[in-house]
């Protein structure tokens, strides 16, 4: 029976990782259950979890007999190899009449349209990072009926989004949290080839980092390890915020823990609906606290958290320990070795016809001086980022006018912020209305921006839209995108397969420290509350840049003008030694991530790549003579192969 409060629908959504847990939840106090199959879902890292096709079909029948709904996660990012499997699986889910699917990759929307699948709803996963009204509206127009809201969205913003769009909203109310904005963490993929966007995160955020800043070392042990979400005492605020579905995280948790948790939340919701004036928020709060896996937080629900967001105690058996649960140990970013190069070159050589046609070179810059240098060096395209890393500021109109006056054949694109809330859309709308004529196009970072600006400007999608299959390309092309940046998580054969199948122009990031974590969580604010343990200088970047130190390297963390934090790799991505093999018979652009380089460093890097573009046969020699300005060179995720077995 559906719950209502003041005509607002309320759904308690429970997680099931095994058939045993699902059977127990069918009799528990929830309205719907979500689960994953044996492939294409975000919880694939542990054996013994997820349901077979036969079990999923049985689960749907069992749940419908007691008027509960079943949602199936099809929420992996997908590569080109998995499209046929996805079509078969979606047809199966449509046939057994699951109530909904939860997706991250927009290729699924494209496939559902092409296959005319009508029997289930489509829900946008939290990993789709819905954080603005424009994105919600774009999804609604494409047939998505519900969005799981970004973990960084507070309840006031959630209410505003729901009221203005009319789309159903889902909000995580309990369970494991991440400090990195949804789908904007790539570190696990670049370190081990295990993508957090494909359910294989090894949680480098939970390493015991130390922080360096301004020549001091701080001994805070787990600066990125978030507490668990707990909204048990705030059910009235969730309902008032028009949240439709209250979602509990925990598909990898044991049955008894999940069933008890679901029943406690269900009982509290029922008590509030029955008699809100006498509602006791704390009735079972102590039991929840005593049974917790980590300490609790309300995260971003009521505003931006500080140090209180960070966990200092970790899960054990019946008690807490000062050391963290081990998901992985600190690891060095993969080096470029002869073995890695041989595998990469062999894989690339097996796909497509090669050509010596000139590839275009793009550079993302942080300031006016870098942009001016790129124009003077006749770079084909520059991206003026609006996520400007401090101490720089976005260039003024006089500087922008000058760049346009001298640009010659260089295209100037505006790179939008990686996250855009309603304030940032308001600012960007006004700025582009007044000064949009300066720009040749836009580097778009979210679906809402594509919807908003696609009819006015040439659009290129940035890498954080995580595109590495051509069904996703088709989706974005249908709403106005002209060029696509390949995901930095693609492994070597995944990238090769994607490029071979691509009918559109693709851009590949070929050089630079790579931003692998994008955070609302502000380490710069937090360090001000800590006491330094000793003096220590940064090894590769200025001391005014905050650095996360571990035994295998140090990762610089920059802060931008909107107080977002950007954690970069310790090493520089460098595709120069495999560049010759990326010369396929189609337009491919190459991009240097230049924001964090000095002018002289950037000049040297551009010169090398311009020479390589002009003569592909020189790549090996150029690489041998190239200097690293950070902790060495890496191929990142291209160091690994996707297992086809």
Q: What is the DSSP string of 454-501?
A: TTTS-EEE-GGG-B-SHHHHHHHHHTT--EEEBPTT--HHHHHHHHHH
pLDDT for 154-200, tens place per residue? 999 999 999 999 999 999 999 999 999 988 999 999 999 999 888 88
Residue 621: per-residue pLDDT: 96
pLDDT for 78-115, tens place per residue? 999 999 999 999 999 999 999 999 999 999 999 999 99
Instruction: Assign a CATH topology to domain 3-177+226-300.
Output: TIM Barrel (3.20.20)
Residue 320: per-residue pLDDT: 33
Question: How far, CA to CA in Å, does 441 sit from each of 61, 404, 414, 551?
Answer: 51, 13, 7, 42
- Average pLDDT over every residue of 471-483: 96
pLDDT for 601-630, tens place per residue? 999 999 999 999 999 999 999 999 999 999
The Cα–Cα gap between 123 and 166 comes to 14
Residue 353: per-residue pLDDT: 65
Residue 354: per-residue pLDDT: 65
Domain ranges of the chain: 3-177+226-300, 338-514+569-639
Residue 317: is its pLDDT beyond 60? no
- Choose the weakest-confidence range: 44-53, 67-76, 542-551: 44-53
- Nearest by Cα to 587 from 612, 608, 613: 613
Question: How far, CA to CA in Å, does 354 sit from each of 278, 351, 591?
Answer: 73, 9, 20
b/e 455-468 (16+ beta carbons within 10 angstroms → b): eebbbbbbbbbbbb
Residue 324: per-residue pLDDT: 43
Measured in whole angstroms, the distance separating CA 318 from the mean position of its chain's CA atoms is 33
The Cα–Cα gap between 241 and 235 comes to 10
- Nearest by Cα to 248 from 68, 6, 25, 67: 25
Evaluate whether 203 touches 328 at the Cβ level (below 8 Å): yes
The Cα–Cα gap between 71 and 105 comes to 16
Same-fold call for 3-177+226-300 versus 338-514+569-639: yes
User: At the top level of CATH, which class does the domain 338-514+569-639 belong to?
Assistant: alpha beta
Cα dihedral sign, 313-317-323-327: negative
Residue 318: per-residue pLDDT: 34
Residue 315: is its pLDDT beyond 50? no
């Amino acid at each position: 029976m559906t719950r209502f409060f003041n005509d607002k629908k309320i759904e308690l959504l429970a997680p099931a990782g095994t058939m045993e847990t699902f059977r127990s939840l069918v009799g528990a106090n929830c309205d719907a259950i979500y689960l994953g199959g044996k492939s294409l879902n975000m919880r694939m890292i542990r054996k013994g979890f997820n349901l077979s096709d036969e079990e999923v079909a049985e689960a749907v029948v069992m749940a419908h007999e007691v008027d509960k709904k079943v949602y199936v996660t099809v929420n992996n990012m997908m590569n080109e190899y998995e499209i046929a499997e996805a079509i078969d699986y979606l047809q199966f889910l449509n046939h057994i009449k699951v109530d909904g699917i939860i997706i991250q990759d927009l290729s699924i929307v494209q496939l559902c349209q092409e296959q005319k699948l009508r029997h289930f709803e489509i829900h946008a996963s939290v990993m789709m990072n819905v954080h603005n009204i424009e994105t919600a509206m774009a999804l609604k127009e494409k047939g998505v009926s519900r969005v799981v809201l970004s973990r960084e969205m507070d309840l006031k913003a959630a209410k505003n989004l729901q009221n203005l769009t009319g789309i159903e909203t889902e909000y995580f109310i309990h369970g494991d949290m991440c400090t990195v904005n949804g789908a904007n963490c790539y570190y696990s993929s670049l370190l081990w080839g295990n993508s957090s966007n494909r359910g294989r995160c090894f949680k480098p955020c939970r390493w015991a980092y130390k922080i360096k800043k301004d020549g001091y070392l701080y001994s805070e042990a787990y600066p990125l390890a978030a507490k668990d979400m707990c909204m048990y005492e705030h059910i009235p605020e969730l309902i008032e915020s028009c949240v439709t579905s209250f979602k509990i995280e925990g598909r990898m948790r044991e049955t008894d823990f999940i069933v008890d948790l679901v029943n406690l939340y269900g009982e509290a919701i029922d008590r509030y609906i029955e008699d809100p004036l006498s509602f006791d928020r704390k009735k079972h709060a102590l039991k929840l606290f005593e049974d917790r896996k980590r300490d609790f937080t309300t995260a971003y629900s009521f505003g931006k958290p500080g140090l209180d967001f960070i966990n200092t105690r970790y899960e054990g058996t019946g008690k807490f320990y000062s050391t963290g649960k081990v998901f992985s140990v600190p690891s060095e970013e993969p080096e470029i070795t002869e073995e890695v190069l041989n595998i990469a070159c062999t894989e690339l050589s097996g796909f497509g016809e090669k050509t010596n046609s000139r590839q275009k070179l793009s550079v993302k810059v942080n300031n006016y001086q870098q942009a001016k240098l790129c124009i003077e060096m006749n770079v084909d395209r520059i991206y003026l980022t609006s996520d400007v890393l401090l101490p720089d500021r976005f260039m003024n109109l006089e500087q922008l006018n000058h760049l346009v006056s001298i640009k010659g054949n260089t295209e100037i694109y505006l790179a939008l912020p990686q996250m855009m809330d309603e304030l940032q859309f308001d600012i960007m709308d006004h700025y582009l209305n007044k000064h949009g004529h300066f720009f040749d196009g836009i580097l778009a970072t979210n679906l809402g921006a594509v919807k908003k600006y696609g009819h006015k400007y040439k659009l290129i999608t940035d890498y954080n839209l995580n595109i590495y299959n051509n069904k996703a390309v088709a989706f974005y092309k249908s709403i106005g995108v002209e060029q696509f940046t390949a995901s930095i998580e693609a492994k070597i054969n995944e990238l090769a397969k994607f490029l071979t199948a691509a009918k559109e122009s693709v851009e590949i990031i070929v050089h630079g420290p790579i931003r692998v974590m994008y955070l609302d969580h502000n380490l710069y604010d937090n360090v001000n509350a800590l006491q330094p343990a000793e003096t220590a200088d940064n090894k590769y970047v200025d001391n005014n840049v905050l650095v996360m130190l571990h035994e295998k390297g140090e990762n610089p963390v920059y802060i931008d003008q909107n107080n977002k934090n950007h954690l970069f790799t310790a090493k520089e991505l460098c595709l120069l030694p495999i560049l010759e093999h990326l010369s396929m018979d189609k337009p491919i652009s190459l991009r240097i991530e230049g924001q964090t380089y000095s002018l002289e460093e950037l000049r040297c890097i551009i010169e090398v790549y311009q020479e390589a573009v002009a003569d592909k046969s020189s790549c090996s020699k150029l690489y041998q003579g190239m200097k690293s300005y950070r902790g060495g060179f890496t191929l990142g995720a291209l160091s690994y192969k996707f297992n086809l077995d």
